[in-house]
């Protein structure tokens, strides 16, 4: 039973536009959420996180929004750049990290 | 500095070989992790060390043997692996007070 779901396996966005990656979770006890970016054959790179006591966290081009009532979070990247093309994983903290399946983001020139 | 280093970057081994993967961090983190990642899948937790003691073993076969010589180092000893063990092996570390884990670049392991 997947506790963290990323329902879009892939997403294609025009360079310069906004990329929105979505993540849903089922366990209301999760208190911290993270986004990681991963290039092929490399380790995941931590991008941004959010505590469950907040509804928004921003870091440069990256913003994470948390909607606790809907058990939904999203990562906004604006403007999207070619180097953003990668697989993005959402993870929730429950003593350990519970991972979503990932969304492959493709930025088109 | 959020760097975790791993060696070797690539490893090819036969099913009868014994080899070791190494991981190092100098962030003062007291939790260290081994993950296995197959293509197009999220990382799969194998082991967790907390304050140099093994705290979680996710039912990993005994052909994988972790070791934490000190708070900065983590090893994964490999023996009699199977071809299906071929994967990217990732090391991570975290501050014991925070959930954010920082990953190394991984070791690409191929078992022939």
What residues in B contact A101, CB-CB < 8 Å? 41-42
Q: Is the pLDDT of residue B98 over 90?
A: no
Say if the Cβ atoms of B43 and A44 lie within 8 Å.
Answer: yes
Q: A63's torsion region: left (phi>0), alpha (psi -120 to 50) or beta?
A: beta
Reduced to 3 states, what is the DSSP secondary structure of residue A57? strand
User: Stretch A6-32: mean pLDDT, rounded?
Assistant: 96
Q: How many CB atoms lie within 10 A of CB A89?
A: 24
What is the pLDDT, as a whole number, of residue A43?
A: 94
Nearest-Cα distance to chain B for A67, in Å, is 20
Reduced to 3 states, what is the DSSP secondary structure of residue B104? coil
What is d(CA B82, CA B17) in angstroms, rounded to the nearest whole number?
11
- Which residue, A10, A84, A1, is CA-closest to A48? A84
Q: Is the pLDDT of residue B1 over 80?
A: no
For A43, which of B45, B56, B104 is closest by C-beta distance?
Answer: B104
- Which residue, B80, B72, B43, is CA-closest to B58? B43
Task: Let me know if A99 is exposed, middle or buried by CB neighbors in 10 A (0-12, 13-18, 19+).
Answer: buried
Nearest-Cα distance to chain A for B46, in Å, is 11
Mean pLDDT (chain B) is 94
- Both tokens of A96, joined, read 């350990």
The pLDDT tens digits for A53-107 are 999 999 999 999 999 999 999 999 999 999 999 999 999 998 889 999 999 999 9
**Positive or negative: CA dihedral A23, A7, A30, B32:** negative
The pLDDT tens digits for B4-55 are 999 999 999 998 899 999 999 989 999 999 999 998 899 999 999 999 999 8
What is the pLDDT, as a whole number, of residue B31?
A: 94
What residues in B contact A46, CB-CB < 8 Å? 2, 100-103
CA–centroid distance for B13 within its chain: 17
Residue in A with minimal Cα distance to B34: A43
């Amino acid at each position: 039973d997947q506790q963290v779901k990323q329902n879009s396996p892939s997403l294609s966005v025009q360079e310069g536009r906004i990329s929105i990656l979505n993540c849903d979770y089922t366990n209301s006890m999760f208190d911290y959420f993270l986004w990681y970016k991963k290039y092929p054959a490399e380790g995941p790179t931590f991008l941004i996180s959010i505590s469950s006591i907040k509804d928004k966290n921003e870091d440069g081009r990256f913003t994470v929004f948390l909607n606790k009532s809907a058990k939904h979070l999203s990562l906004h990247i604006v403007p999207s750049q070619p180097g953003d093309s990668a697989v993005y994983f959402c993870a929730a903290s429950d003593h350990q990290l519970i991972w979503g399946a990932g969304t492959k983001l493709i930025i088109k020139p | 500095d959020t760097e975790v280093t791993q060696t070797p970057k690539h490893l090819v081994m036969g099913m009868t070989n014994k080899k070791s993967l190494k991981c190092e961090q100098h962030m003062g983190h007291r939790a260290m992790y081994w993950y296995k990642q197959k293509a197009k899948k999220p990382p799969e937790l194998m082991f967790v060390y907390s304050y140099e003691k093994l705290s979680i073993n996710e039912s990993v076969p005994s052909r994988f043997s972790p070791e934490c010589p000190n708070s900065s180092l983590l090893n994964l000893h490999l023996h009699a692996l199977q071809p299906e063990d071929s994967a990217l092996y990732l090391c991570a570390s975290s501050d014991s007070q925070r959930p954010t884990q920082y990953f190394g670049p991984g070791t690409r392991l191929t078992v022939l």
